[in-house]
Amino acid sequence: MKHTRSETLFVEAQKVLPGGVNSPVRAFGAVGRKPLFIERGEKSKILDADGNTYIDYVMSWGPLILGHAHEDVVRAVTDAAKDGLSFGAPTGRETQLAEEICFATGAETVRLVSSGTEAVMSAVRLARGYTGRDKIIKFEGNYHGHSDGLLVKAGSGCLTGASPDSLGVPASFASETLVASYNDEESVRALFEANIGKVSCVIVEPVAANMGVVPPKAGFLESLRALCDKNGALLLFDEVITGFRIAYGGAAERYGVRPDLWAFGKIVGGGMPLAAYAGRREIMRMVAPAGRVYQAGTLSGNPVATAAGLATLRILRENRENIYPALEEKGAALEAAYKSAGIPVNRVGSLLSPFFAQKAPESYADVLTADLGAFAAYFGKMLDAGIYVAPSQFEAMFVSVAHTSKDIEQTCRAILDR
């Protein structure tokens, strides 16, 4: 496969964009390759600037559960765009989207924002405002976007770049973030005991998916619920990845644990820049203008993005009986192929990660044992076989409704032949 046009575009991009990209992991830095520039996507496939086609398992890092350019979503977007791109005033569809989110998840009130980062950052502020406490507990290797207080022992691109923290975060901000070990109830208990009456919330990716996929151990999420209740703290599920993905009602449905607050992103925006935070009415009524926790956005609830999210969530609701079992089946087929190839794998529904390690990780420490050179070699072979997986060991594969059984078979063959 030739990538000359992508290479030229990357050279040009590096002159005007830091590292040539607008989000770090896109640069392929961890796999020793140059990024592909993408021209178009259709269903399960993407086409790069050199005319190569790939079966896509990045799927815009999760939003595209229905596949690229789903015709109903594209129609909803183009129809909305014809009526105006933005008003900065309320529109009826924002309420409809909030209703879809509440129906699926059990949340009672929703605020629409424009990115997952913004959703989490605002939900944390709300937890602090509601409890009157400043500290938060997060887990190492969990990623919650790039707001200051959450770039502490973070996953995703921070792990890929071998720097789980970021320059530019004041030590005073970071000191309000207490870091626990994922899947380790005792580490959370110890932080609560050392900070009595100071912790506003525990924020968790219910399925860790930014250090590769690491599912919660049986009872882990329940233990967080119990520890929060005992200590008067809120439980905040960051379902930016898991929401509408690992079940129609996300992790809260799949594991039967109800948080006080949720952050959503990716799928709720149907591929457009839209995210949300949501929760119990009693807490959410503190958000301005109803209450005194301030949060605002020029493009919040943008009509075009809202149309994309609404079309997506409606399709998921109307077809959930078929969609989620089918996603599970496709995910299971890929999992089986990795296992047959002797590669440990973690999977929850249509979210999975093969690990180039001795065993499928259960913790952040396990994740760090992965052989990144072996991952890079696997990545290159998959790409050369026309399969586009995330360019980092510490990201997930996303299977969509649009992946056909032929796509899955071709991918399984590539895994076994690599």
Q: How far is the CB of 138 from ligand PLP (least distance, A)?
A: 11
Closest CA to 21 of 122, 160, 150: 160
The residue from 266, 378, 388, 407 that is catalytic is 266
> In this chain, which residue has its C-beta nearest to ligand PLP?
116
Contact 262, 278 (CB under 8 A): yes
The residue from 143, 364, 378, 388 that is catalytic is 143
Buried b (16+ CB within 10 A) or exposed e, 148-170: bbbbbbbbbbbbbeeebeeeebe
CB nearer to ligand PLP: give 20 or 206: 206
Q: Is 120 a residue that touches ligand PLP (CB under 6 A)?
A: yes
Q: Has 266 been annotated as catalytic?
A: yes
Q: Is 140 a residue that touches ligand PLP (CB under 6 A)?
A: no
CA distance 142 to 237: 11
Q: Identify the burial level of 410 via C-beta atoms within 10 angstroms of its C-beta, where 0-12 means exposed, 13-18 middle and 19 or more buried.
A: middle
Q: Per CB under 6 A, which region of 234-242, 289-297, 331-339, 346-354 contacts ligand PLP? A: 234-242
CB nearer to ligand PLP: give 117 or 350: 117
Contact 173, 138 (CB under 8 A): no
Q: Is 76 a residue that touches ligand PLP (CB under 6 A)?
A: no
Q: Has 143 been annotated as catalytic?
A: yes
CB nearer to ligand PLP: give 117 or 295: 117
Q: Is 271 a residue that touches ligand PLP (CB under 6 A)?
A: no
Q: Is 398 a residue that touches ligand PLP (CB under 6 A)?
A: no
- Considering only residues 204 to 223 of the shown chain, the ones binding ligand PLP according to CB under 6 A are 205, 210
Q: How far is the CB of 140 from ligand PLP (least distance, A)?
A: 14
CA distance 137 to 150: 10
CB nearer to ligand PLP: give 117 or 302: 117
Residue 27 tokens, joined: 């640069």
Q: How far is the CB of 108 from ligand PLP (least distance, A)?
A: 22
Q: Is 101 a residue that touches ligand PLP (CB under 6 A)?
A: no
Q: Is 240 a residue that touches ligand PLP (CB under 6 A)?
A: yes
The partner residues of 111 in beta bridges, in order of sequence, read 277
CA distance 102 to 249: 9
**Binding residue (CB under 6 A) for ligand PLP from 28, 130, 139, 143:** 143
Residue 31 tokens, joined: 């796999």
Q: How far is the CB of 382 from ligand PLP (least distance, A)?
A: 21
CA distances from 193 to 143, 182, 198, 250, 370 (A): 24, 17, 10, 30, 33
- Considering only residues 152 to 191 of the shown chain, the ones binding ligand PLP according to CB under 6 A are 156
The residue from 48, 238, 260, 366 that is catalytic is 238
CB nearer to ligand PLP: give 238 or 366: 238
Q: Is 264 a residue that touches ligand PLP (CB under 6 A)?
A: no
Q: Per CB under 6 A, which region of 13-21, 43-51, 137-145, 342-350 contacts ligand PLP? A: 137-145
Q: Per CB under 6 A, which region of 2-10, 33-41, 87-95, 114-122 contacts ligand PLP? A: 114-122
CA distances from 205 to 136, 139, 375 (A): 14, 8, 24
Q: How far is the CB of 116 from ligand PLP (least distance, A)?
A: 2
- Considering only residues 308 to 367 of the shown chain, the ones binding ligand PLP according to CB under 6 A are none
Window 275-314: contact mask with ligand PLP (x via CB under 6 A): x---------------------------------------
Q: Has 148 been annotated as catalytic?
A: no
Residues that bind ligand PLP (CB under 6 A): 61, 115-117, 120, 143-145, 156, 205, 210, 238, 240-241, 265, 275
Active-site residues: which are they? 143, 238, 266
